[in-house]
Amino acid sequence: MLKLIPDKNKLPRYTGRNNIPISVNSGATEVTVDFAPDLQGSNGTTADMRAQIVYRAADGTTVFSSPVSSGKTTLKLAKAPKNGVVTVVISNVTMGGYKNAKSYGWDTTEKFGYKIQVTGGTVQYSNIAV
């Protein structure tokens, strides 16, 4: 089981997201992500985030887990993931979207933290700044 706490400079902002590639462990039949979002953003705004596992299968179809606001989401690997990789998508959800964020009084530079634990795979770290 791997625990990941992302760098504070790479956290999603309003309507932002992080895409985290996961190499599926050899012989794994499912991947589970236990998602623990911070309760508030960096400026104290109540967080509203989701985690979801997605992948493109070797046959070209797309496969999605159920999104969760916290806790576990599991994706059964009924079809082989292309290149043995699935992606955990961490999304920050807002009602009006980025263009309306300031009209709600939100600071569009506010960051929203989280932690995840992954079973059934290993995070592929990257130096790509987003």
Question: What pLDDT does residue 120 have?
Answer: 96
Task: Tell me the DSSP string of the chain.
Answer: -EEE---GGG---TT-EEEEEEEEPTT-SEEEEEEEE-SB-TTSPBP-EEEEEEEEBTTS-EEEPPPBSSEEEEEE-SSPBGGGEEEEEEEE--SS-HHHHGGGT--TT----EEEEEESEEE-------
Task: Quote the distance between the C-alpha of residue 79 and its chain's center.
Answer: 21
Q: Tally the domains of the chain.
A: 1
With respect to residue 94, please indicate whether it lies within any of the assigned structural domains. yes
pLDDT per residue over 62-74, tens digit each? 999 999 999 999 9
Question: What pLDDT does residue 129 have?
Answer: 42
With respect to residue 128, please indicate whether it lies within any of the assigned structural domains. no
Which domain does 42 fall in, by range? 2-102+111-121
With respect to residue 127, please indicate whether it lies within any of the assigned structural domains. no
We report the CATH number of the domain holding residue 31 as 2.60.120.380
Question: What pLDDT does residue 104 have?
Answer: 63
pLDDT per residue over 7-54, tens digit each? 676 666 666 788 899 999 999 999 999 999 999 888 888 888 999 999
